[in-house]
Chain A
Amino acid sequence: MSHQMFRVVLAALAAGVVLGHGPALAADAAKGKAAFMKYGCWQCHGIEGQGSAITSAGKVLAPDPMPLETFVAFVRSTDRAMPPYSEKVLPNEDLADMHAYLSAIPKPKDYKSIPLLRQ
């Protein structure tokens, strides 16, 4: 098992711990937005998780964020452009709240319904 894979598995296990306990089940979208701002996620991903072609390679976090397990695993173990966040820095409870916030963001309109984007 590579070092990277080992980190992913560990992170996935950590996510499982989150899912198996109260904090994940009681995830709070309002707290999640505050955490999203506090930990600087908004800087690259936009305040509504809309992403940026420059700072997040166009990847969007919301709506329809990736499953919580995958979300946690990625945050803990990323070795791509995004720096990893350890649990010491970003507790599991806050991550779960953030996921709740991203999940609560409504889907965007179809661009065809926006005159400026239909041109």
Chain B
Amino acid sequence: MSRKISSTKDSGPKVDRRKFLTGVAVAGAAGAMTPQAANATVAAGAATARVPSALPPTAWTVAAETGTPQKDLARIGGVAGSDFMVDVIKTLDIKYLPSNCASSFRGIHESLINYGNNKMPEFLTCTHEESGVGMGHGYFKVTGKPLMTLCHGTVGLQHASMAIYNAWCDRVPVIVVGGNDLDAAHRPPGVPTVHSAQDINALVRDFTKWDDTPVSLQHFAQSMVRAYKISMTPPYGPVAISLDAGLQQEPVKHHNGEKLYIPKYTPTSAPQGDTNAVREAARLLAGAERPVIVVDRAARTENGVRLLVQLAEALQARVVDMGARMNFPKNHHLSAGIAVVNNADVIIGMELTDFWAVVNSFIDNGDHGIGINQTKIKPETKLISINSVDLNTKANYQDFQRFQAVDVAMAADAETTLPSLIEAVKSAIQNDRKAAIAKRGEAAKKAHTEVRERTRQAAALAWDASPISTARMSMEIWGHIKDLDWSLVAQTGNVSNWPHRLWPMEKHHHWLGHSGGYGVGYGIAAAVGAALANRDLGRFSVNIQGDGDLMYAPGVMWTAAKHKIPLLTVMHNNRGYHQELMHVQRLSSFRNRVASLGGDIGPIGTSIMNPDIEYHKLAESMGWWAKGPITDPEKLGPAIREAVAVVKSGQPALLNVWTQPR
């Protein structure tokens, strides 16, 4: 934003932010909070012209910086604009602000910790912007409340962008506020100018729900509340606000009796399925012989889990949980694997990331590198979709997956629609169908029991192997957390889904889901953010951590130690980028070549070994209790016992475990 637009000789309308702000008073329109900044007396007159910081200091500057101040200088000539920003932020009930500090938001940074007393939000020191967003991502999935993070102009937002994309794909709100300095004529030359942009939010516009660049304090107040509101309306998503450096640093001014106000935040109710569509869906489900419910992000809360159980039990329908959230109890007799869709006659998909992939298969084994597509269902199978993501309209990034035609489509929030759907299903079930439905339930119980038996026997394979099997590792962890109020906050290491198959997951916080965008580096940051939330709720957090993921931004471990965030992290250290390792192997086979290993165990460029990374030492260096490497399965249980005790005392702990590949 230009600071001196009025200096132009253009005879057209003039917009002078200084004059606009002059005389503006603050009043809390919401009535709930009276901004402290509103009561400040603002000195009249223009602010001192800014001098580029890269120039040699003047004699006055030298004296000011080396001499003893004779009086309170009150250099800004009134109340800082960023103090008012803090007043706005405080109305939104944002508890933490994980951020990496930067000059472009120094104004609001100073206001947050001094004027705002570093409470609501509390600044948490991060060593990477990706970590700040990732922490907000994990925190939301525990609490249902978003965090705010601050990003430095351009480079900071660039660092944050992968994590923002993960949040976008995972339908998670994060309030991203970035610093920027728009006034090319007056901003400091050199680095601050390199770190400025005309439209900085363009960088993340394709994967944020909304963004804005406020040009006045009142504009900021409206944008901040609007951003929060948009991000918190399903489908949830990240939002971005760009903060001009001048706007942060200039004083609040009064103008013609106009008063600054903070708009009241009123949550927007989530979109609910159309009545007729709900009725038609219920009719199809009630009349089905083999209905299947497939869920991905259907349960946003614990209540969502309860509602899904009610729907499933009303129909005695098998439920396939795709795992983006903990939607359905894994020990319920109706919980099933994806194979049940093959024989379904009606499938209802709720908040699915990829409906196409639920009812089709893609085999990466076709001629010339083109995959084989095959349908898994019968032509007459009816498909129903409830998905709030149908309301998103972004086109560039392809997270919406392939188009899947369905018979009933509701652009609606599944959890909000479930109560009416359950009632409609109960009404639609004819009395003569009830015996068949009950029989379906009995068959499901038998099948569920058989699957659990087979799964446990499969877990016994390689039980004593070294490197340690992922089944053994998962169950050794389980043995020490089963009596706690536990939360599996991240499992980025692809451990063959053993926790989901063997642990009795039944509560929404037992599993928080994956990254969404599969951007590597999510795991440890989201785990720390989720553990922060669980700390405040008195829960025990456990993270099964991939080795490759940890090395993207491991500095968040220091953040965990610094802010005393208890978290048990067990490394799934298979010493490689295993997904990529398999891809190179696959292509080598297709091309009739032996993959070159170069002295490692995986193809060149995919192994993380020679030397092996000592993750336990890395963690120790950042203030964690840690132990490793653990290669003997008999030594794993005792090590976990020690680590759990440390975490219970309020500290983070890491075990470096050498594991089987998956």
User: Which residues on A are within 8 Å of B, measured CB to CB?
Assistant: 37-40, 42-44, 46-48, 50-55, 58, 60, 78-86, 88-90, 108-111, 114, 116-117, 119
Contact = CB atoms under 8 A, between A and B. Distances in A.
Interface residues of B, number: 45
Nearest to B457: A111
Interface stretch (B137-145, B204-212, B563-571, B578-586): B578-586
A83 to B, nearest CB: 4
Nearest to B456: A111
A72 to B, nearest CB: 15
A117 B456 contact: yes
B661 A89 contact: no
Given A47-B467, A47-B660, A88-B592, 6 more contacts: A42-B661, A43-B602, A48-B462, A48-B469, A81-B364, A117-B475
A92 B489 CA distance: 46
Interface in B369-418: 372
The 3 closest A-B pairs by CB, nearest first: A83-B589, A50-B461, A50-B462
A53 B497 contact: yes
The residue among A50, A55, A80, A111 with the most chain B CB atoms within 10 A of its own CB is: A50
A79 B603 CA distance: 22
A44 to B, nearest CB: 6
B365 A80 contact: yes
Nearest to B454: A58
Contacts of A60: 458, 461
Interface in B468-497: 469-470, 475-476, 478-479, 482, 494, 496-497
A55 B460 contact: no
Given A48-B465, A79-B365, A111-B457, A116 B661 contact: no
Contacts of B594: 38-39, 89-90
Contact of B479 (A79, A111, A116): A116
Contacts of B589: 83-85, 89
A34 B496 CA distance: 24
A46 to B, nearest CB: 5
A84 B586 CA distance: 9
A81 B578 contact: no
Given A44-B582, A117-B460, A52 B597 contact: no
A111 B460 contact: yes
A108 B463 contact: yes
Contacts of A86: 592
A109 B463 contact: yes
Contacts of B40: none
B501 interface: yes
B598 to A, nearest CB: 12
B55 interface: no
B463 A40 contact: no
B582 A89 contact: no
B661 A47 contact: yes
A90 B593 CA distance: 9
Contacts of B578: 43
B553 interface: no
B463 A114 contact: yes
B363 interface: yes
A53 B660 CA distance: 13
Nearest to A41: B585
Given A83-B589, A108-B461, A116 B662 contact: no
A46 B662 contact: yes
A114 B363 CA distance: 36
- Chief secondary structure at chain A's binding surface: loop
Given A116-B476, A116-B478, A51 B461 contact: yes
Contacts of A116: 475-476, 478-479
B590 interface: yes
B595 interface: yes
Nearest to B582: A43
B456 A54 contact: no
Contacts of A52: 470, 496, 661-662
Given A50-B461, A79-B365, A117-B459, A43 B476 contact: no
Contacts of B460: 108-111, 114, 117
Contact of A83 (B365, B456, B461): B365
The residue among A43, A46, A117 with the most chain B CB atoms within 10 A of its own CB is: A43
B601 interface: yes
A42 B601 CA distance: 10
A83 B465 contact: no
A43 B465 contact: no
A87 to B, nearest CB: 10
A118 to B, nearest CB: 8
A48 B494 contact: no
Given A40-B585, A40-B602, A51-B461, A80 B494 contact: no
A46 B456 contact: no
Contacts of B475: 116-117
Contact of A55 (B372, B462, B597, B662): B662
B119 to A, nearest CB: 43
A36 B459 CA distance: 21
A13 B470 CA distance: 38
A43 B457 contact: no
A53 B501 contact: yes
Contacts of A89: 588-589, 592-594
Contacts of A42: 601, 661
Contacts of A83: 365, 585-586, 589-590
B511 to A, nearest CB: 16
Nearest to A83: B589
A86 B589 CA distance: 8
Nearest to A58: B458
B455 to A, nearest CB: 9
Contacts of A51: 458, 461
Nearest to A57: B339
A111 B459 contact: yes
Interface in B145-178: none
Contacts of A111: 456-457, 459-460
A54 B496 contact: yes
A60 B457 CA distance: 12
A41 B661 CA distance: 11
A51 B501 CA distance: 15
A47 B476 CA distance: 20
Contacts of A108: 457, 460-463
A21 B364 CA distance: 35
The residue among A48, A78, A83, A84 with the most chain B CB atoms within 10 A of its own CB is: A83
The residue among A42, A47, A82 with the most chain B CB atoms within 10 A of its own CB is: A47
15 contacts: A40-B581, A44-B582, A47-B465, A48-B462, A50-B469, A53-B496, A55-B582, A79-B363, A83-B586, A83-B589, A110-B457, A111-B460, A114-B463, A117-B459, A119-B482
Contacts of B494: 54
B463 A46 contact: no
